[in-house]
């Protein structure tokens, strides 16, 4: 199934003809070679997905006829990943996988042991690249919402934002005993979860203590030492299995 993002679709789009945005139309015509009558899906970026049919596809563009809304594919839990700024290619992998897993946002954080540093104008280019990766992943997995790919935050700002979520989960190598499943048993109804994953060098003890003081649940991810990106993807999957729809 080919999917296109059309922002600003009216909620009552069924029965309407809609022009695909220029880039999407070019891709539909030149690369996918779609023709009149082909079934596609439209994503509005705010959570809604529609079944549609190609009404016109030629060198001037492409239009589709919206058939009707499809069942939602957003997770019943809002998961925001705060991640100690890792190397660019790791963050790109995480952005793609977290989008598929249904996360609401990915927020890089400059932490004590971050090796990578945000880089002014280059930083904004990198963020835009993450947004493109997330958009592609949205189309691939068929969800209706595009997760936020935030600009890197400093630690204090990140900590304050994390504390505003209903539940703050902090997997930490030195945490002992408490597992994600234990936190789930005590907070089965949590619907707005922040997850903090350290950078390659891990979370510094003073950061873990500061998070704890803000109400974080420090948890173990088991006795094996996971790479930062593995920890992010695996714990997001576990959160979605425990609280969400995986």
Q: Which listed range, 51-59, 124-132, 204-212, 227-235, lies at the site for its own copies (CB under 8 A)?
A: 227-235
Site for its own copies in 23-82 (CB under 8 A): 71-73, 75
233 forms part of the interface with its own copies (CB under 8 A): yes
Closest by CA to 41, choosing from 144, 170, 122, 136, is 144
Number of amino acids touching its own copies (CB under 8 A): 35
User: To the nearest whole angstrom, how small is the minimum distance from the Cβ of residue 241 to its own copies?
Assistant: 4
Burial class (CB in 10 A: 0-12, 13-18, 19+), 130: buried
Tell me, residue by residue from 83 to 102, as one string, x for binding to its own copies by CB under 8 A and - for no binding.
Answer: --------------x--xxx
Q: How far apart are CA 75 and CA 143, in angstroms?
A: 9
Phi-psi region of 120 (alpha: psi -120 to 50; beta: other; left: phi over 0): left
Q: Which residue has the tokens 């903090």?
A: 196
User: To the nearest whole angstrom, how small is the minimum distance from the Cβ of residue 45 to its own copies?
Assistant: 15
Among 13, 153, 193, 234, binds its own copies (CB under 8 A): 234
Closest to its own copies by CB, 3 vs 161, is 3
Q: Which listed range, 15-23, 29-37, 149-157, 215-223, lies at the site for its own copies (CB under 8 A)?
A: 215-223
Q: Which listed range, 105-113, 140-148, 152-160, 206-214, lies at the site for its own copies (CB under 8 A)?
A: 140-148
Among 140, 164, 178, 209, binds its own copies (CB under 8 A): 140
Q: Which listed range, 24-32, 55-63, 176-184, 208-216, lies at the site for its own copies (CB under 8 A)?
A: 176-184
User: To the nearest whole angstrom, how small is the minimum distance from the Cβ of residue 47 to its own copies?
Assistant: 12
Closest to its own copies by CB, 1 vs 156, is 1
Tokens for 204? 């510094």
Phi, psi dihedrals of residue 67, rounded to the nearest 5°: -85, -45
Q: Which residue has the tokens 């080919």?
A: 2
- Which residues make up the interface to its own copies (CB under 8 A)? 71-73, 75, 97, 100-102, 140-143, 179-181, 221-227, 230, 233-238, 240-242, 244-246
């Amino acid at each position: 199934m080919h999917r296109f993002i059309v922002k600003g679709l009216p909620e009552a789009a069924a029965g309407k003809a809609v022009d695909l945005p220029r880039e999407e139309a070019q891709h539909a015509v030149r690369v996918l070679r779609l023709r009149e009558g082909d079934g596609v899906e439209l994503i509005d970026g705010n959570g809604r997905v529609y079944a549609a049919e190609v009404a016109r596809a030629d060198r001037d563009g492409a239009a589709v006829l919206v058939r009707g809304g499809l069942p939602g594919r957003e997770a019943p839990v809002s998961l925001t990943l705060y991640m100690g700024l890792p190397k660019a290619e790791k963050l790109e992998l995480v952005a793609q996988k977290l989008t598929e897993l249904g996360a609401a946002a990915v927020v890089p954080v400059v932490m004590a042991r971050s090796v990578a540093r945000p880089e002014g104008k280059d930083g904004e280019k990198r963020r835009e690249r993450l947004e493109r990766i997330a958009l592609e992943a949205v189309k691939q997995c068929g969800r209706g919402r595009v997760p936020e790919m935030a600009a890197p935050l400093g630690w204090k700002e990140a900590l304050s934002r994390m504390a505003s979520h209903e539940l703050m989960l902090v997997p930490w190598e030195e945490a002992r005993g408490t597992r994600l499943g234990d936190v789930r048993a005590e907070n089965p109804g949590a619907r707005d979860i922040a997850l903090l994953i350290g950078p390659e060098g891990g979370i510094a003890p003073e950061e873990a203590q500061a998070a704890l003081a803000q109400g974080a649940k420090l948890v173990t991810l088991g006795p094996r030492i996971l790479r930062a990106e593995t920890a992010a993807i695996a714990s997001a999957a576990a959160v979605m299995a425990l609280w969400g729809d995986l």
